[in-house]
Amino acid sequence: MRRARIMMAFAVAGATAVVGVLSLVPGETGSQAAQSVARPPSPGDPLTGDEVTRAGRIASATWRSHMTTGRAELLYVERDDDKAAGERRRADAYIYDYRTDRLVVRTVDLARGEVVEERTGRGVQPPPSRGEETAAAELLLADPKYGGRVRAAHLKAGGRPLVSAADLGLRALTFTPRPGDRVAGACEVHRCVRLFVRLPDGSWLDTSRIVVDLSAKKILTLEW
């Protein structure tokens, strides 16, 4: 893993120049988004929905072309609560770059409207985002071996054919291979997830041996 701690000061100019980027940015429905209120937030309040949107936009300003092609993704935005920041409102935007398999965490100072810190690393896997969860399910459904099984299980449990991944109850967790893993060794660096799949009757498919390699767009079956 490359360990880098780079102080950056991107200009805010251009942050709103691209239309259509909002679809890439977590909005007010995010669980951590504070209720929209007229008054300014207190220093210890969660990020407001507006702050989440703004931080995501600022942090991803130089990534838009990669995001629109799916080669990078803004995963989520967390409030930065570093003691050293004092009472400044700051946000950490987690961006995953699939081209290089690097995690980029950009810290945005919301008052200044700019990125003030960036950390990048390979082999660092933050929890999967909702978007990655859906992408993993779509890969599973497209898999010749497992796709049909999932559809058949869904039909049996719900009495209706599966239309899309949205019909499934999904939950993804980061997968990290154990030492010597012959099947999923690439997941030391690749973005890999395990997927839990809930069917319409509330039961869960046993997907514990299945790993979705989002970087390689492959389904792996663990050996154990």
Partner 1 sequence: MFLRLTLSSALLAAGLTGATGSTAGSTETAGTAGAAEAVRAAAGSAGAARAAQAAPGSQPSCSSPYRIDKTLPNGARWQLCWEMRTIEGLTLTDVTYTPDGGEPTGVLRSTALAQIHVPYDSGEPRFHDIGTIGDDAIALKSADCPGGERRSQFVCVTTRARGHGYMKSDGEGVSTSVQGTDLVVFAAFQLGWYTYLVEWAFGDDGAITPRIGATGSLSGFTTTPGYGWPIGVGSTKFEESHNHNVFWRLDFDIEGSRGDVVEQYDFAGSGTSKRKLVKTVFDEETKAVNGRMRWWRVVDSGVRNADRHPVSWEINNLASAEYRGPADEAFTRADLYVTDYRACERLASTNPTPGCGKSLDRYVADGKRLTDPVVWVNVGFHHVARDEDADPMPTHWQGFRITPRDVTAKNPS
Which residues contribute to the site for partner 1 (CB under 8 A)? 1-5, 30-32, 34-35, 39, 41-46, 76-84, 86-87, 94, 103-105, 119-121, 124-130, 171-174, 176, 178-179, 194, 196, 203-204, 206, 208-209, 222, 224
Helix (H, G, I), strand (E, B) or coil at 91: strand
Smallest distance, partner 1 to C-beta of residue 193, A: 9
Smallest distance, partner 1 to C-beta of residue 13, A: 27
- CB-nearer residue toward partner 1: 124 or 155: 124
Q: How is the beta sheet containing 192-198 ordered, strand by strand? A: 169-174, 192-198, 210-213, 218-221
Smallest distance, partner 1 to C-beta of residue 52, A: 10
- CB-nearer residue toward partner 1: 12 or 196: 196
| Two tokens, residue 203 | 């039961």
Around Cβ 70, how many Cβ atoms within 10 Å? 10
Rounded distance between C-alpha atoms, residue 130 and residue 27, angstroms: 12
- CB-nearer residue toward partner 1: 32 or 69: 32
List 72's β-bridge partners, or say none.
Answer: 97
Smallest distance, partner 1 to C-beta of residue 90, A: 10
Rounded distance between C-alpha atoms, residue 198 and residue 194, angstroms: 13
- CB-nearer residue toward partner 1: 19 or 111: 111
Q: 104 vs 72, 78, 96, 172, 192, CA distance in Å?
A: 10, 13, 6, 20, 17
- CB-nearer residue toward partner 1: 68 or 207: 207
Smallest distance, partner 1 to C-beta of residue 5, A: 5
Enter the DSSP assignment of 78: E
